[in-house]
Structure 1
Amino acid sequence: MEMEDNQTQIQNPEDIDASNGDTIAQNPKSPVSSDSDADSEDESQQTDELKTLEAELSTNPSNYYPHVQYIKLLRKMGEIEKLRQARENMNAVFPLTPAMWQEWAKDEASLSIGAEVFSVVEKLYERGVLDYLSIPLWCDYLNYIQEYNPSVRECSSDGISKARNIFERALTAAGLHVAEGHKIWESYREFEQALLCTIEEADTKAKELQVQRIRGIFHRQLSVPLLNLRSTFLAYKAWEVEQGNVLDAESNDIDGIPSHVASAYQKAMEMCNARVQHEEQISKEDISEIEKLQNFMNYLKFEKSAGDPAQVQVLYERAITEFPISNDLWLDYTRYLDRTLKVGNVVRDVYIRATRNCPCVGELWVRYLLALERSRASEKEISGVFEKSLQCTFSTLEEYLDLFLTRVDSLRRRILFVNEAEDVLDYSKIRETFQFASDYLSPQLKNSDALLHLHAYWSRLELNLGNDLVAARGVWESLLKISGSMLEAWQGYIAMEIELGHIKEARSIYRRCYCKRFPGTGSEDICHSWLRFEREFGTLEDFDYAVQKVIPRLEELQLYRMPRESKAFAASTDEKEDPIKKNVREKRKEGLESTDEQSPAKWQKQTTQSQKKGCEKNKDQAQILAEVTEKEEVKAKVEKTDSIHEKQLQDSYTGRNKVYTDQCTAFISNLNLKANCEDLHKFFSDVGGVISIRILRDKFSGKSRGLAYVDFSDDEHLAAAILKNKQMLLGKKLSIARSDPKQNKKGGHNVSKQHTHTTGMSGNDGESASKVSNETSKGSKAPELPNSAARKQDDNIQLKGKSTFLVPRNVMTNKHKSVEEGDEKPKSNDEFRKLFIKD
């Protein structure tokens, strides 16, 4: 064995060095010298690699694969002490695979023989069988016990009792393994058969007792659905013949077999036949990991329908061995155990292994804590698990919050429903947990409902369990320091005081928060809430005081929101207006941005005198402001229109807008808004012949409209592209149709005039967006274009409905007037301004 050779080299380094030294001195150029140099280079390389792995593990001990490489290298170099420590370090973080446990036990057993070594190896096997279900590991453990345990080897009563105990544990863990469980049963029978041979012939009573023991093992095995159950049945009949019973050992007939054994055997055979197909599916080796996991889940579904929890648990253990880091599998397994199994130790063991394999799943830790509480675990154990869970890194803050709340729930229940056998817990543990949660989560959950619910729960427990009103108020005050801009935080604080009957304290909170700025209509809501509070609980003086404070605040808020509301109304109106006017309004909107962002304090300062003169004065000022705004908007519209028309005229003269004809073009709709030209080019790569791709975009926002045109070199490629209709691209099923410039009018008149459209470059990725004038929605007004680029629509074609802009261009055929350069003199900016003002 390689491990033994390395250990020998370590034990005798002087002999190796001396012999090599003599050889090198006599003939430095000999092959032995070359081998020595090569070995020296290998040792140097291994040493460097060892240092690299040690440095990596010291900085990141949670990295799995460096642990594996480090152990392999140490085993190769024969560093026994370092190897032991490396294995222990890895097992402290991760469960070891069955193969790693087997290798570790064999390495330790090969060092020497003795009671101390036997104890070490036995403990390794005991640790290994707890991590995963492994038939080979159990068989190695059983064989080692029979071979190296002195008491078992000498067949003493203690040794026999110990061996039988281990065999029964092995049957409980793996005896229902449909594919390989028979190995444990057969090993058990062989052990008992060997004991039968050691009994003297004269001791008939002991011999008969041992025969009954072996017969009982046969009967138990014949009632379990195992793949080789038929051969076990034949072995049983042959064994009965050896004991002097008259049976046909080579027949499958159940004649002569006790009725209860025959009935159990037939039922087990039926169960086995029902599972053969599932066993074949999970044993396939030429399938992907996802398919194999799905086969296990199908098998588990079948086992659950059969209704045997022991069979289901063994199958879960087999699946876990194959997929040890599958979050969904562990969650499904633990959920099943919580629902069906009532054995606390078994459930606890599964949760320990689940959280070691998948430590970053918060739900597993939450269920683990609940399972411990359900099994009446000690406070020390639960506290240790909770502290260990906080050392993990979860993907969401909600997982941390759920963990903290689960811990608080457990403490609350233990205080309220404590048993005489349990220790009485101090409320300070709950307060410490809440404080820890608040400090940990507040920076990330600021102004969130989750943080509000946490503090509300905390405050309620301070009152009900802690009997400390000052502490409850302190909880709300600490929340207001963190999330003082949340209306709900103030409302919760006020609600607590009202519920306790502390009217003065609630009124004091209203006076603190009525003038604060809350999102949405929160500022108005808190003012109205104060008035309702005084109506229900206050005196007339209290109500008058609240009105005196609230009414000016509401007027201030109304004046502050007036420009925003007018702009919101204007924005909704602009959707039905001309796009050019809408663009002008947006420009004006940008100009007033600084005014809109003024704080309530500034508005209050500007309107102090107007408030003293009454509401009519405020209305006059608002009217004046509206008139000034309207004049500025008209001026901005004229200036914006000038720039737009100048740009359009310049494009018409310079030829910047390219004209396309749809002679061999595909129209694409239902396109993913994130798709670009490259995506479409890849989509039609199997068709080929793509000349150009144009994605239609919104003329103002530049965003894709989900429509595109793809030009092909000939009709053959276009026909092939149309065959890809209804295929998926980026999660959406495309609609592909031919964009045909020739259409028939109603009444049979043929229109053969060439259909064209113009496009301009837009978008960050250089994609083309078509400006199709005939794609207009119902009730919208098309933008005015210069005369040199004007086009007249066909009067005989009428488009109806709200979604006419989605119709392909072959449906919306227009008659276009070809404009020759120089047909009409372009208008100047002054002329356009006059036309605009006239309109």
Structure 2
Amino acid sequence: MADDDERTMNRNGLAPIAEEDDCDNEEEGNPSTTSSSSSDDDSDDDQDLQLQETQQALEKLLAENPSDYDAHLNYIKLLRKRDDIDKLRQARESMAAIFPLTPSMWQEWANDEATLSTGIKAFATIEQLYERGQHDYLSVSLWCDYLNFVLKHDPSVCEFSSSGVSKMRNLFERALTAAGLHVSEGSKVWEAYIAFEETVLANVSQKNEETEKQLQRIRSIFHRQLSVPLTELSSVFHAYKSWELEHVNVPERSSEFEAPSHVTFAYHKAMEMYNARANYEEQISREGASETEKLQNFMAYLHFEASSGDPARVQILYERAITEFPISSDLWLSYARYLDQTIKVPKIVVDAYSRATRNCTWVKELWVGYLLSMERACASEKELSAVFEEALQCSFSNFDEYLDLFLTRIDGVRRRISTGMSEEDGLNYAAIREIFQRATDYLSPSLMNSEGLLHLHLYWSRLELHHAKDLVAARGVWESLLKTSGTMIEAWQHYINMEIEMGHLDEARAIYRRCYSRRFAGTGSEDICHRWLRFEREYGTLDDYDRTKKKVMPRLEELQVFRLEQESKSIAVELGSKVDLGKKSSQKRKVGGNSTDEVPATKRRKGISSEEMTTEKDASRISKEETKNEPTEEKFDRREATREDAQIKHSTAKGTYTDQCTAFISNISLQAKDGDLRYFFSDVGGVTGIRLLKDKFTGKSRGLAYVDFVDDTRLSAAVTKNKQILLGKKLSIARSDPNRNKKGGGFERRKHEHGKTNEKPNESSDATDAQDEPASSQPGSSRRQGNSVQLKGKTAFLPRTVVRNIGRSSNEQGDDTSSKSNDEFRKMLLKK
């Protein structure tokens, strides 16, 4: 027995205490033995010193980062090696408080405790360890160890008292519920249950009614097992028939027992079910398969079980999959959804979400589902608050997920107050206000000027107004938002709408006075002016309308002038860069010439290269026709796109960016920074530069960016991430084309993009042909589009005959002078 204890302690890493004997005493006088012993002692001292230093390093690491899973494992392993029992228990408790432990870790813990102490108190401690272990993951081996431990060490069970037998049966039934449907290992629990009942049968003293009752109990367990698809079910069927022959003493019974028809039918049905699942069982247990393949096999198996319509089987298969892949967030989410939609047992659902959040702490959807499941289970406010606080300590991918968590908590508190459930917890509206304030303080620095923060304040103000009946508090909500996000026109408009809905027109008018002169992004400044005028038309008097118009119209004119000035500056920058890059030796102006080679910058259309510039008169007319009925937002988009081209061309002119290996990204979140984009492309790698475009007036991000890569391979990989989400926005990623303005002209391209064209159907082919011709081969050619003429090449020298004939058809002109180049016109004049 002592040898068995010693082997057990060595297996668990706990060295037994050495006993002194005569042999040891005799060897003390041997010099060689003494020298060897001294050498061993020195070696042990060095090893112990090294272990002590490692232990101190691990303790420091865990103090700095308690969430280091590997550090916990190494620390426990080291303490088991050093036999530091007290610290070992504390280390295991610390790890179990943060992470779920694997079944093998629970078994190791229980075995260690069993070898260290005995008695009633030790039995209760170890039994509690097994109970805790069943909560983390499904493990048939852990259940079997638990059952065997209770069978051997529980005095009431060992004595087969009525309470002990009842306790053991309840434990077996729990084990069958948890693992009895486990196709490959469930038979272990069934066999142990039958063995226990047979032992009880052997201890029945009287061969009477009690014996028959016990036989019927064992028979019932056999029947239940034969209806479940398990491995080696045919062996169980033969064992059942042998048992019947042995215990049912009927003389006329033949040697071959015929099972009842309903048992035989259930057995054959179970065998059919097992045969249908045998291939799936083989796939998920196949050795050498990768983790990805194994997970895919589990998902296929789950799909098959779900189609069979047995929720209990689907649930236990999910438990098996989770034991194999405990940190697969997709698997946990799928499991939780299935429980929510199918099982709908509050205790089971809450338990699953609790375990899911311990394994995948970074998944916001699991925490939200956890809070909702607890609310459905009528959990107390204290329990809900504890889970919410725990969720806030986790690390999510972006602050929008924290916002969703806050909103879920607010929704729950609001519902409890509305339904009267808050009386038990003493909740009132002050609790909602406190959560709103906390959310604002927590999220405002990161979600400034975002739709999420606006939604939070809109929700808050609505509750203050309609739930708390506090108009002053509702106004305070909007005022606090305007202090941090005063450049959001939506915030001002929602504030105004609230006052209008309440019938406070003077207050709404006062807010308009405060914001109409502010500068907002895009066309917001113009929009707020037009909205104020519309407000006065619908709600104000004629005097109110006149006073407002007197204030607003100068502001609109000022904004229009400002826009035109900024566009002129950007056009000048664009044309300046084009002149520097576009000049060629064959097109340079001779010194002392009388003609000019460049059209003034103010007469050039934005987005058209120097080789494709129209005359001032035609460009102005086309611009008016293009924007005649265009909505304000489309006008702004067109101007923004033009300004973007000017910025890129200006950068190219300076030689800073070539866009030869660059990705263009649009629909970027306005909160995104360079670091966010760099992290987004971290899996691609090779990022050499990031240019996040910003508005010249406000300095805010425009949601556009150019990302340079080191080579074309990395660029191609980056383009494959198109439509992936960054900070809640689905990005549009395309390869940047630096020659896009040389392919048909920027002005015509934008007209096509906006669906605006002045070409007639019968003229489209001519325009296309002219566009496809190389610019270098048409130094002085012109191209007619609609009723306009677009001159290519140097257009400063225009003979009067040509100017008079621009816009006329060839029949009206009577000659072909309009098709001559500038050099040909010069030669004609020299001849004259």
TM-score, normalised by the number of residues in structure 2? 0.69
Q: Cα 1:374–1:707, aligned 2, differ >3 Å: closer, same or farther? A: closer
Q: Cα 1:40–1:278, aligned 2, differ >3 Å: closer, same or farther? A: same
Which residue is 1:275 aligned to? 277
Q: Does 1:103 align with 2:108?
A: yes
Shift of 1:465: 1.2
Q: Does 1:548 align with 2:538?
A: no
Shift of 1:61: 0.6
Which residue is 2:367 aligned to? 365
Q: Cα 1:535–1:2, aligned 2, differ >3 Å: closer, same or farther? A: farther
Which residue is 1:561 aligned to? 563
Tell me if the contact between 1:24 and 1:32 (Cα under 8 Å) persists in the aligned partners: no
Shift of 1:244: 3.0
Shift of 1:285: 1.7
Alignment of 1:520-539 (within 5 A): 520-539=522-541
Q: Does 1:515 align with 2:506?
A: no
Instruction: Say which structure, 1 or 2, has more relative contact order (CA 8 Å, 6+ apart).
Output: 2
Which residue is 2:79 aligned to? 74
Q: Cα 1:89–1:835, aligned 2, differ >3 Å: closer, same or farther? A: farther
Tell me if the contact between 2:481 and 2:491 (Cα under 8 Å) persists in the aligned partners: yes
Which residue is 2:239 aligned to? 235
Separation of aligned partners in 1, 2:333 and 2:162: 44
Q: Which amino acid aligns with 1:108?
A: E
Separation of aligned partners in 2, 1:150 and 1:586: 106
Q: Which amino acid aligns with 2:393?
A: Q
Q: Which amino acid aligns with 1:338?
A: D
Q: Which amino acid aligns with 2:491?
A: A
Q: Does 1:38 align with 2:62?
A: no
Q: Which residue, out of 487, 491, 494, partners 1:492?
A: 494
Instruction: Write out per-residue CA displacement over residues 543-602 of structure 1, whole angstroms, 9 at most, x where no aligned residue.
Output: 22211211111111111111234467789999999962799999989xxxxxxxxxxxxx
Separation of aligned partners in 2, 1:837 and 1:19: 121
Alignment of 1:409-428 (within 5 A): 409-419=411-421, 422-423=424-425, 425-428=427-430
Tell me if the contact between 2:13 and 2:81 (Cα under 8 Å) persists in the aligned partners: no
Which residue is 1:210 aligned to? 214
Which residue is 2:389 aligned to? 387
Q: Cα 1:505–1:335, aligned 2, differ >3 Å: closer, same or farther? A: same
Separation of aligned partners in 2, 1:383 and 1:770: 55
Instruction: Write out per-residue CA displacement over residues 786-830 of structure 1, whole angstroms, 9 at most, x where no aligned residue.
Output: xxxxxxxxxxxx998799799xxxxx9xxxxxxxxxxxxxxxxxx
Q: Secondary structure at the match of 1:30?
A: helix
Separation of aligned partners in 2, 1:585 and 1:232: 98
Q: Does 1:143 align with 2:145?
A: no
- How many residues are paired up? 634
Instruction: Write out per-residue CA displacement over residues 388-428 of structure 1, whole angstroms, 9 at most, x where no aligned residue.
Output: 11111111111101100001111111111225985562001
Q: Cα 1:803–1:306, aligned 2, differ >3 Å: closer, same or farther? A: farther
Separation of aligned partners in 1, 2:322 and 2:13: 39
Tell me if the contact between 1:23 and 1:33 (Cα under 8 Å) persists in the aligned partners: no
Which residue is 2:168 aligned to? 163
Which residue is 1:506 aligned to? 508
Which residue is 1:302 aligned to? 304
Deviates more, 1:383-392 or 1:23-32: 23-32
Tell me if the contact between 2:371 and 2:388 (Cα under 8 Å) persists in the aligned partners: yes
Separation of aligned partners in 2, 1:102 and 1:208: 38
Which residue is 1:94 aligned to? 99
Which residue is 1:59 aligned to? 64
Shift of 1:836: 14
Which residue is 1:244 aligned to? 248
Q: Cα 1:257–1:5, aligned 2, differ >3 Å: closer, same or farther? A: closer
Q: Which amino acid aligns with 1:82?
A: K
Instruction: Write out per-residue CA displacement over residues 123-162 of structure 1, whole angstroms, 9 at most, x where no aligned residue.
Output: 0001011110001100000000000100000000010011
Q: Which amino acid aligns with 1:457?
A: Y
Separation of aligned partners in 2, 1:552 and 1:281: 77
Separation of aligned partners in 1, 2:600 and 2:157: 94
Alignment of 1:655-674 (within 5 A): none
Separation of aligned partners in 1, 2:130 and 2:599: 76
Q: Cα 1:139–1:400, aligned 2, differ >3 Å: closer, same or farther? A: same
Which residue is 1:329 aligned to? 331
Q: Cα 1:702–1:25, aligned 2, differ >3 Å: closer, same or farther? A: closer
Q: Which amino acid aligns with 1:346?
A: I
Q: Does 1:115 align with 2:120?
A: yes
Instruction: Write out per-residue CA displacement over residues 52-102 of structure 1, whole angstroms, 9 at most, x where no aligned residue.
Output: 111111111100001001111111111111110000000011011100000
Separation of aligned partners in 2, 1:205 and 1:300: 46
Q: Which amino acid aligns with 1:66?
A: A
Separation of aligned partners in 2, 1:484 and 1:248: 94
Separation of aligned partners in 2, 1:221 and 1:6: 35
Which residue is 2:464 aligned to? 462
Separation of aligned partners in 2, 1:704 and 1:802: 36
Q: Does 1:153 align with 2:152?
A: no
Q: Which amino acid aligns with 2:237?
A: F
Tell me if the contact between 2:228 and 2:270 (Cα under 8 Å) persists in the aligned partners: yes
Separation of aligned partners in 1, 2:492 and 2:824: 54
Shift of 1:523: 0.6
Tell me if the contact between 2:663 and 2:718 (Cα under 8 Å) persists in the aligned partners: no
Q: Secondary structure at the match of 1:81?
A: helix
Tell me if the contact between 1:397 and 1:441 (Cα under 8 Å) persists in the aligned partners: yes
Tell me if the contact between 1:95 and 1:356 (Cα under 8 Å) persists in the aligned partners: yes
Q: Identify unmatched segments of 5+ residues in structure 1.
A: 590-636, 645-670, 676-700, 709-727, 734-768, 782-797, 807-811, 813-833
Separation of aligned partners in 1, 2:110 and 2:271: 37
Alignment of 1:768-807 (within 5 A): 777=743
Instruction: Write out per-residue CA displacement over residues 163-217 of structure 1, whole angstroms, 9 at most, x where no aligned residue.
Output: 00110000000000001000000000000011111112x4310100000000000
Tell me if the contact between 2:416 and 2:422 (Cα under 8 Å) persists in the aligned partners: no
Tell me if the contact between 1:777 and 1:802 (Cα under 8 Å) persists in the aligned partners: no
Alignment of 1:378-777 (within 5 A): 378-419=380-421, 422-423=424-425, 425-566=427-568, 580=582, 730=717, 777=743
Shift of 1:433: 0.6
Tell me if the contact between 2:58 and 2:71 (Cα under 8 Å) persists in the aligned partners: yes
Tell me if the contact between 2:663 and 2:707 (Cα under 8 Å) persists in the aligned partners: no
Separation of aligned partners in 2, 1:10 and 1:225: 45
Q: Identify unmatched segments of 5+ residues in structure 2.
A: 1-5, 588-596, 603-649, 665-705, 721-736, 748-765, 778-821, 828-832
Q: Cα 1:448–1:343, aligned 2, differ >3 Å: closer, same or farther? A: same
Tell me if the contact between 2:12 and 2:111 (Cα under 8 Å) persists in the aligned partners: no
Deviates more, 1:130-139 or 1:374-383: 374-383
Q: Cα 1:224–1:291, aligned 2, differ >3 Å: closer, same or farther? A: same
Separation of aligned partners in 2, 1:24 and 1:456: 90
Shift of 1:5: 6.1
Q: Cα 1:489–1:343, aligned 2, differ >3 Å: closer, same or farther? A: same
Q: Which amino acid aligns with 1:188?
A: Y
Q: Which amino acid aligns with 1:403?
A: L
Which residue is 1:312 aligned to? 314
Shift of 1:837: 14
Q: Which residue, out of 132, 141, 166, partners 2:137?
A: 132
Q: Secondary structure at the match of 1:227?
A: coil
Tell me if the contact between 1:24 and 1:33 (Cα under 8 Å) persists in the aligned partners: no
Tell me if the contact between 1:234 and 1:250 (Cα under 8 Å) persists in the aligned partners: no
Which residue is 2:646 aligned to? none
Separation of aligned partners in 2, 1:374 and 1:329: 23
Q: Secondary structure at the match of 2:394?
A: coil
Q: Secondary structure at the match of 2:457?
A: helix
